[in-house]
Chains A and B, each alone.
Chain A
Amino acid sequence: MADDNSPVEKISTRRQFLGAAGMTGAMLAVGHKAAVAAETAAAPVNPDVLPPHVADWSKSLGPGVADFPYGKPSKFEAHVVRRDVEWLTASRQSSVNFTPWHDLDGIITPNGLCFERHHGGAAEIDPNEHRLMIHGLVERPLIFAMSDILRMPRVNRVFFLECAANSGMEWRGAQLNGCQFTHGMIHNVMYTGVPLRVLLEEAGVKPTAKWLLVEGGDAAGMNRSLPLEKALDDCLLAFKMNGEALRPEQGYPLRLVVPGWEGNIWIKWIRRIEVGDKPWFAREETSKYTDLMADGRARRFTFVMDAKSVITNPSPQAPLRFRGRNVLTGIAWSGRGKITRVDVTLDGGRNWREARIDGPVFDRSVTRFYVDFDWQGEELLIQSRCHDETGYLQPTKNELRAIRGVNSIYHNNGIQTWLVRANGETENVEVS
């Protein structure tokens, strides 16, 4: 095993593994079937490329500065992409894909990897033609051009955006092998935008107002009812994410940001806000995004995303490959505030240790945690559980089921278990 841990072997085998994975995405997607074996991790490498050989890339010129005016990741990272699950939905226009968290680190999601969820495809909108109308219970119904919004006072905030259905396929048991599929309907970026309050004050909200209808300009005309109190508190109309313009699939040129609340209400391509005195009971807040309980009744307007965490490495798509030193890492977040602590168990919940949080800890943002550990090929049952600043402790899946049953679909924030086998293969499981 000593060879496995030499730096040269590590680098070359990793490259080979990534290359193979890039060519066979389907194989990688079923991570537990991927050809991994910690015992034989030192895959053969062409000795000609190793020192003292000087590689071609050290001798010849690479591409010049303007050859890739925007730029893209290394071709050796081509496997790091959003993936969808074809059998989930009837069409690609009303569907979802997933962020590959097992291939990321830190807390910021690259814009091109932020999961997509559309109901009528991604609208392609000319920002010069885009308008946002505010009307209803206001003193002055107004129409704003993007140029108006760009002249208003703006702020920068890092927030997670999680689909309420993230982990929704796991209510009845472990189903999908990969944190990309079980937990990939979340991303975390820095938004630049104008507080919604600024626009509402510009229009002059009448005293009888209590709710807003927020509506997108896409072919789904996506609409949700948003309490006025939340709108005035911390919602943004964002036009930039991670410094660049929103991508079309994230609502370009303008989207609503609703910190800590389920993704469906973060209306993309937002074109209209109607101020009213009651909610609208739109399709998305009646037939969808209501939580059906075991007694046949359903919770509605369950906006807040509960505290949740997941170990991203190791995980089914990112098995353990080396004995000895290893880094366990994952992400935690809460719709109610900051993450204050994350605990990790390697033995299925018998014993826990506090993970090391590293990087910024923002309010209602993804937070990154690590556990540096030694592994000698023993079987592991790994879990993470997080605490937020309100004192909420992430529950087990069974604790959630005891209250909500299994028909809920949405808001599954239960503790995730991965089984790491002796050969490093990792599988989605549940434990007693």
Chain B
Amino acid sequence: MRTRRLKEIACAFAVAGAFGLSGSIAGHAGERLGLGVPATPEQIAGWDIDVRPDGVGLPPGKGTATAGEAIFLDHCAACHGDFAEGRDKWPVLAGGLGSLKADRPEKTIGSYWPAASTVFDYIKRAMPFGNAQSLSDDDVYALTAFLLNMNEVIKDPDFELNQKNFSTIVMPNEGGFYDDDRETAERQFWNAKACMKDCKTDVKVTATAAVLDVTPDSKTGPHVD
């Protein structure tokens, strides 16, 4: 038994060395290491908090914007403002509709997020900031309804958002995204010919950091997301 195990391990190392990462790394194809313990349904339920746009992962529950407003004022407004308009440098959650081509686009839930499920998913896993995963599922439904109401996606503040009707919500910017196309749209950057000599005649400084001078000791400056 012992000899067999040692042989397996030696084999695994030899194969991993020969094939690198993309080959059969552990050299145990079809043969399990026998490590780890089965995850029980109860254990999975405790950690399985994600929600997808098609509704997969939504827990039972319900809430209205009216109920959500009270929760928002208690747990969220200190950072995000009473109407989700943002405070200080904390994120603005409402408004900005139609601003995505503007010089300073306002990327909010209503103006930018493609799926309502993301609101539920993110609140449930990460909010309130500093007290994550403390809200009940009903609270999360209510907060989601409130934020969708602030963004005029849900018009009626007493509309009950629940597990069944959640997937009918359509976000304004749902169609605003496309998959990475750099390898075709930016094909010109795959250009091995690089000019080495007399490539320009005139070179002028067009911008300097000193004009803005926002290097760390400055208190004003742009945001980074």
Establish whether residues A197 and B25, one from each chain, have CB atoms under 8 Å apart when the complex forms.
yes
Does A71 count as interface, using CB distance less than 8 angstroms? no
Q: How far is the CB of B37 from chain A (nearest CB, A)?
A: 5
Chain B residues within CB distance 8 Å of chain A: 9, 12-13, 16, 21-22, 25-29, 32-33, 35-39, 43-44, 47-54, 56, 79, 88-90, 100-101, 105, 107, 109, 112-115, 117-118, 121-122, 125-126, 129-130, 132-133, 176-182, 185-186, 188-192, 194-225
Do most interface residues of chain B lie in helix, strand or loop, or is the interface mixed? loop
Q: A135-B39, A282-B118, A302-B182 are in contact. Are A392 and B212 (CB under 8 A)?
A: no
Residues 199-222 of chain A, each 1 if its beta carbon lies under 8 Å from chain B, else 0: 101110000000001010001110
A393-432 residues at the B interface, CB under 8 angstroms:
393-395, 399, 403, 407, 409, 419, 427-432
A202 x B38 contact (CB < 8 A): no
User: Which of A14-22, A79-87, A102-110, A246-254 lies on the face that meets chain B?
Assistant: A79-87
State how many angstroms separate the Cβ of B27 from the closest Cβ of chain A.
Answer: 8
**Of the 9-residue stretches A41-49, A56-64, A167-175, A325-333, which lies at the interface with chain B?**
A167-175
Contact A283 B224 (CB under 8 A): no
Most B CB contacts (10 A, CB to CB) among A26, A31, A283, A429 go to A283
Contacting residues, chain A, for B217 (C-beta < 8 A): 26, 29-30
Please tell me if the beta carbons of B215 and A409 are within 8 angstroms of each other in the complex.
Answer: no
Bound Cα distance A152, B27 (Å)? 11
Q: B193 CB to closest chain A CB, in angstroms?
A: 8
B28, B105, B192, B197: the one contacting A351 at CB < 8 Å is: B197
> In the bound complex, do residue B215 and residue A133 qualify as a contact, i.e. CB atoms below 8 Å apart?
no
The answer to whether A349 and B21 touch (CB under 8 A), given A151-B35, A299-B181, A392-B190, is no
Q: A286 in the interface, Cβ–Cβ < 8 Å?
A: yes
Say which residue of B12, B25, B117 sits within 8 Å of A281 (CB atoms). B117
Cβ of A88 < 8 Å from any Cβ of B? yes
B13 touches A153 (CB 8 A): yes
- Can you give 9 contacting A-B residue pairs, CB < 8 Å? A32-B210, A87-B221, A133-B44, A143-B37, A174-B212, A177-B213, A202-B33, A276-B52, A352-B197
Tell whether, in the assembled complex, residue B44 and residue A153 are in contact, meaning their CB atoms are under 8 Å apart: no
Docked Cα-Cα span, A119 to B39, in Å, equals 28
Residues of chain A lying within 8 A (CB to CB) of residue B200: 348-350
B177 to chain A, nearest CB (A): 4
Q: Are the C-beta atoms of A141 and B210 separated by less than 8 Å?
A: no
